[in-house]
């Protein structure tokens, strides 16, 4: 039951974060109001302005001081609230202390001692300060009297046995100047653990660029060692491998992947990062061109998939997927989405999802090559194409929106799905 609850919370967090990711994407042209969005409104009693239902031709109301002459230096009239960007938050200098401890997570493993430590202090998604340190013989180090000016969140990286382990702490600010971060580290292994894909959720939405797909995968490593991966032909090592469609555009690696260590070649997406114990979450977004009003997704994994779910808008399109079963619908605002699911999918078994009756792609992705072989073989992902860590997320090429209909409703859906679907017991 505890395992189900943890997975439910994981799924809810995943889909709630999509709303934030959507907010970071550039918006579509201003014609959105004509598509049904409510136009901005003026405060009660404010005279109408041109373009907002008024008939004044954009003129100022009678008696209103001319803008550019009303205040000192040609500014707004005295007492008028400022118009324009908000002033940046003023600096409030303070001094903080941060205690760091590395904790051994491998049974019988040596106590961490003498490892290199990197601490990055984030203001939002921007690093404002980086400090280096070393653990003492007890696996502890304290950064004392760190000069800071703004509220920051510390991200701590401990390098142990050749692998980087990260953990973030609570926000430091003038009211909370004493921080502590525990970082769990593991010994490594070349032996592949009995890892599984416990969850793969696929959410699709139409757009002028094609079919926008968001995939969220949760991988579980049941062992207590970090798996370094299988050797590749180019002398590297890779761990998790997912099959995704070819001919993609606007690929965005949103979580779990790192730009240094991700390979996408002809529909094969692989991570070359060690697979840590526990549950690791991966997220990817991409655009699949629509041809002849049809899009086809072919998905599989090198290991068994415990739960698979597809969420698609109820827009009149026809969905065919022999291995999936209809699982009802969910209402999100004024729109309804259909759900399909499958359980216990064997390793390497392909799920083919065909969606017909879609609107044709009418706009190419900005800055993207046309779909085809050149778009299907990207090689190593370019720098900046993946999430740099649990706090720092870098935007990547492609101006497409993330799925507009995803929000709290899907978070609830994902949580309920994880609780309602039966989970097989594992041997202790």
* DSSP character at residue 357: S
pLDDT for position 344? 96
* Stretch 151-156: mean pLDDT: 97
Question: Cβ atoms within 10 A of the Cβ of 225, count?
Answer: 22
Residue 176, phi-psi category: left (phi > 0), alpha (psi -120 to 50), beta (remainder): beta
Q: Where are the domains of the chain?
A: 7-23+191-420, 94-187
pLDDT for position 78? 65
* Stretch 1-25: mean pLDDT: 46
Spatial separation of the C-alpha atoms in residues 57 and 74, rounded to whole Å = 23
**Is residue 286 scored above 60 in pLDDT?**
yes
Spatial separation of the C-alpha atoms in residues 215 and 165, rounded to whole Å = 25
**pLDDT band with cut points at 50, 70 and 90 for residue 19:** very low
Strand partners for 303: none
**Is residue 361 scored above 80 in pLDDT?**
no
Evaluate whether 376 touches 247 at the Cβ level (below 8 Å).
yes
pLDDT digits (tens, 9 = 90+) for 373-404: 333 333 444 333 333 232 222 222 222 233 33
Q: What percent of the chain has pLDDT over 90?
A: 52
The CA distances from residue 349 to 24, 146, 243, 263, 344, in Å, are: 35, 53, 10, 21, 10
* Stretch 279-286: mean pLDDT: 94
Average pLDDT, the chain: 76
pLDDT for position 265? 87
Q: State if pTM tops 0.75.
A: no
CATH 3.30.70.20 at 94-187, yes or no: no
Q: Which CATH architecture has domain 7-23+191-420?
A: Sandwich (2.60)
**Is residue 303 scored above 80 in pLDDT?**
yes
Spatial separation of the C-alpha atoms in residues 12 and 9, rounded to whole Å = 5
**pLDDT band with cut points at 50, 70 and 90 for residue 24:** very low
**Is residue 67 scored above 80 in pLDDT?**
no
Same fold for the pair 7-23+191-420 and 94-187: yes
Tell me the range of 11-15, 28-32, 45-49, 78-82 where mean pLDDT is highest: 78-82
pLDDT for position 121? 98
Evaluate whether 311 touches 339 at the Cβ level (below 8 Å).
yes
């Amino acid at each position: 039951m505890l395992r189900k609850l943890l997975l439910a919370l994981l799924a809810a967090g995943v889909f709630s974060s999509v709303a934030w990711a959507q907010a970071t994407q550039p918006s579509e042209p201003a014609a959105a109001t004509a598509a049904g969005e409510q136009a901005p409104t003026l405060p009660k009693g404010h005279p109408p302005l041109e373009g907002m239902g008024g008939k004044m031709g954009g003129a100022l109301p009678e008696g209103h001081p001319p803008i550019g002459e009303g205040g000192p230096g040609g500014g707004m009239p005295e007492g008028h609230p400022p118009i324009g960007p908000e002033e940046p938050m003023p600096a409030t200098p303070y001094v903080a202390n941060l205690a760091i401890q590395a904790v051994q997570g491998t049974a019988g493993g040596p106590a961490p001692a003498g490892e290199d430590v990197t601490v990055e202090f984030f203001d939002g998604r921007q690093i404002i300060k980086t400090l280096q340190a070393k653990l003492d013989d007890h696996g502890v180090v304290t950064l004392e009297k760190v000069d800071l000016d703004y509220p920051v969140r510390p991200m701590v990286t401990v390098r142990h046995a050749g692998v980087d382990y990260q953990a973030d702490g609570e926000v430091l600010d003038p009211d909370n100047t004493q921080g502590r971060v525990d970082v769990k580290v593991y010994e490594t292994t070349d032996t592949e653990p009995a890892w599984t894909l416990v969850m793969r959720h696929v959410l699709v939405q139409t757009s002028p660029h094609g079919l926008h797909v968001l995939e969220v995968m949760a991988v579980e490593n049941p062992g207590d060692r970090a798996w370094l991966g299988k050797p590749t032909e180019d002398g590297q090592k890779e761990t998790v491998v997912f099959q995704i469609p070819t001919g993609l555009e606007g690929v965005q690696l949103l979580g779990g992947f790192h730009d240094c260590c991700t390979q996408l070649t002809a529909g094969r997406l692989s991570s070359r990062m060690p697979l840590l114990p526990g549950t690791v979450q991966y997220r990817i977004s991409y655009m699949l061109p629509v041809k002849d009003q049809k899009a086809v997704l072919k998905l599989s994994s090198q290991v068994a998939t415990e739960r698979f779910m597809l969420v698609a808008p109820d827009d009149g399109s026809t969905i065919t997927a022999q291995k999936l079963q209809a699982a009802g619908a969910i209402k999100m605002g004024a729109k309804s989405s259909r759900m399909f699911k499958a359980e216990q999918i064997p390793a390497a078994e392909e799920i083919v999802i065909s969606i017909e009756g879609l609107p044709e792609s009418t706009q190419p992705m900005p800055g993207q090559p046309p779909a085809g072989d050149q778009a299907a073989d990207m090689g190593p992902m370019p720098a900046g194409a993946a999430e740099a860590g649990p706090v720092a997320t870098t935007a990547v090429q492609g101006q497409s929106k993330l799925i507009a209909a995803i929000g709290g409703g899907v978070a609830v859906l994902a949580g309920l799905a994880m609780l309602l679907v039966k989970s097989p017991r594992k041997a202790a």
